[in-house]
């Protein structure tokens, strides 16, 4: 079965500081990995995705993530955060085993950017 672990439920960080949001997954087959962002009282919006190819994936709003197969991780990073990055971030995984369009989500990480 697919599962996604986001170990940090809350991450406070000062404005203009770097941030890393951690995501680990479990799967024995090839996976497809996603990061979504949810701003208050809104639906989810795709930040970036890894399907194949280069393990470093760049997304919107200056975010990037690196797929590490040996560590089964897909951590999200941003070198300098803004107040507007305050939101909840979800890592999600799917695979050919479970259906390529069936996403399994982590429990989310609430990023709070402190002025």
Partner 1 sequence: NAGVTQTPKFQVLKTGQSMTLQCAQDMNHNSMYWYRQDPGMGLRLIYYSASEGTTDKGEVPNGYNVSRLNKREFSLRLESAAPSQTSVYFCASSEGGRGRINEQFFGPGTRLTVL
3-state helix/strand/coil string of the chain: CCEEECCCCEEEEECCCCEEECCEEECCCCEEEEEEEECCCCCEEEEEEECCCCCEEECHHHCEEEEECCCCEEEEEECCCCHHHCEEEEEEEEECCCEEEEEEECCCEEEEEEC
Interaction of residue 70 with partner 1, rule CB under 8 A: no
CB of 107 to partner 1, least distance (A): 4
Interaction of residue 80 with partner 1, rule CB under 8 A: no
CB of 72 to partner 1, least distance (A): 18
Interaction of residue 103 with partner 1, rule CB under 8 A: yes
> Site residues (CB under 8 A) for partner 1?
4, 9, 32, 34, 36, 41-46, 49, 51, 90, 94, 99-108
């Amino acid at each position: 079965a697919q599962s996604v672990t986001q170990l940090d439920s809350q991450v406070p960080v000062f404005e203009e500081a770097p941030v890393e949001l951690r995501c680990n997954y479990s799967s024995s087959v090839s996976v497809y990995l996603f990061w979504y962002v949810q701003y208050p009282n809104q639906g989810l919006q795709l930040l970036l995705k890894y399907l194949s190819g280069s393990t470093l994936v760049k997304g919107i709003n200056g975010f990037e993530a690196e797929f590490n197969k040996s560590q089964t991780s897909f951590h999200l990073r941003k070198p300098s955060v803004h107040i507007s990055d305050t939101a909840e971030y979800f890592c999600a995984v799917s695979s050919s085993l479970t259906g390529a369009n069936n996403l399994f989500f982590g429990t989310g990480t609430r990023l709070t950017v402190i002025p």
